[in-house]
A and B are shown apart, each in its own frame.
Chain A
Amino acid sequence: MSQGRKTIGYWAAIGHRLSGLALVLFLPLHFLVLGTAMGGAESMDPWLALADLPLVKIAEWGLVVLLTLHLLFGLRVLILEFLPWSGLRHGWVWGGVAASLAVGAVFIGQVV
């Protein structure tokens, strides 16, 4: 029998975990691009120019949203675990989603 309805805390944990996984898989690529600066600005610019591609802009938007989400869901976990207990702090889950989308919107505003 499939498990019945999941708690909000479950979705927060899934979101936290999947965003973390995406970030940790992305980081080596990020570090490699930064590493191209070894050859000076001329070697780095072609890589940065990729950021002009629409698909890359969407991917970067995704990463910014996921990073914000991971940060805020993570802060919720730290609060749950280390501050005096005051419920499962569901407000932080919805707030986290809202704030992440807001940050994403700012990012779009800046790059488009």
Chain B
Amino acid sequence: MAAPSQHKLTVEIHRTGGPVRYEIPLRDNQTVLDAVTEVQRRFAPDLAYRFACRVGVCGSCAMSVNGIPRWTCRTHVAKVVVDGAISVAPLRNLPVIKDLVCDMASFFEKWTDAEHGAGAVFDGKATRHDPLPAIDPESPRRKAVDAGIECINCAVCYAACDVVAWDQGYLGPAALNRAWTLANDDRAANADAVKAKAQGVGGCGSCHSHGACVAACPVGLNPTQSIAGLKRRSLFELLRGSGS
């Protein structure tokens, strides 16, 4: 473990029963995930929280740190500590199961469910017996897909989004970003259906371009831009009379 300094770190954790303050040593190279783990091991064995890879590739450790949703394994305490304290809470916009653990079901449903969500799950047109489709990696459509495809569904953007907080029916930045990648995927059999969901009730029209998702995304994705693409296509296809 990293060497402790002279200083203490107050970790305020918004647990199920209310906020609780713990005191641990302030260490060099300490991440917020390190701090939460130290609290759990030394003071609160019943503290519930999630993590997996702890190296910033899985997105499981997403929590609210000082009011901002982020990956706690990628957040150095030194960068966010204010007057020797940090505040950790579960992600916003998701029901809390216990302490720092949220129920991700509604987030996944908005992304994958064809009836209640965007239905943004890839459905292929071809079988293994068909020739490979020729997709030009430099084509504008493929570039649009590539720009959004790295999403690992960590829900940080969803927690950052104020419209999600205001309107439970809003599909949210991750689902709509995914829908945009499918709408541009020439191999997807359900591209039009996904696009229609993403442009309907709770879809792209509810995005007001706050850009909180862009500021928050740990992978550097741009849901606002993807959603703008959906809006553009929605208007132009409506005016042209094409598209469902």
Contacts and interface: CB of A to CB of B under 8 A. Distances in A.
Interface of A: 1-10, 12-13, 16-17, 77, 80-82, 85, 88
A13 B208 contact: yes
Given A77-B209, A81-B209, A1 B14 contact: yes
Contacts of B151: none
Contacts of A10: 162, 210-212
B212 A6 contact: yes
A9 B210 contact: yes
A7 B212 contact: yes
Interface of B: 14, 64, 66-68, 87, 89, 92, 162, 165, 208-212, 214-215, 222, 224-225, 228, 231-232, 235
A66 B90 CA distance: 38
Given A1-B87, A1-B89, A3-B92, A88 B211 contact: yes
Top 9 A-B pairs, shortest CB-CB distance: A4-B67, A9-B211, A4-B68, A1-B89, A10-B210, A13-B208, A9-B210, A88-B211, A81-B228
A5 B68 contact: yes
Contacts of B212: 6-7, 9-10
B67 A80 contact: no
Given A7-B215, A85-B225, A13 B67 contact: no
Contacts of B64: 1, 4
A110 to B, nearest CB: 34
A7 B67 contact: no
Contacts of B165: 3
B68 A80 contact: no
Contacts of B224: 9, 80, 88
A82 B230 CA distance: 10
B209 A4 contact: no
B209 A9 contact: yes
A80 B215 CA distance: 16
Nearest to B226: A85
Given A81-B231, A85-B225, A88-B214, A13 B68 contact: no
A16 to B, nearest CB: 8
Contacts of B232: 81-82
A17 B232 CA distance: 21
Given A16-B208, A77-B209, 15 more contacts: A1-B14, A2-B67, A3-B92, A4-B64, A6-B212, A7-B210, A7-B211, A7-B212, A9-B209, A9-B211, A10-B210, A10-B211, A13-B208, A81-B232, A85-B228
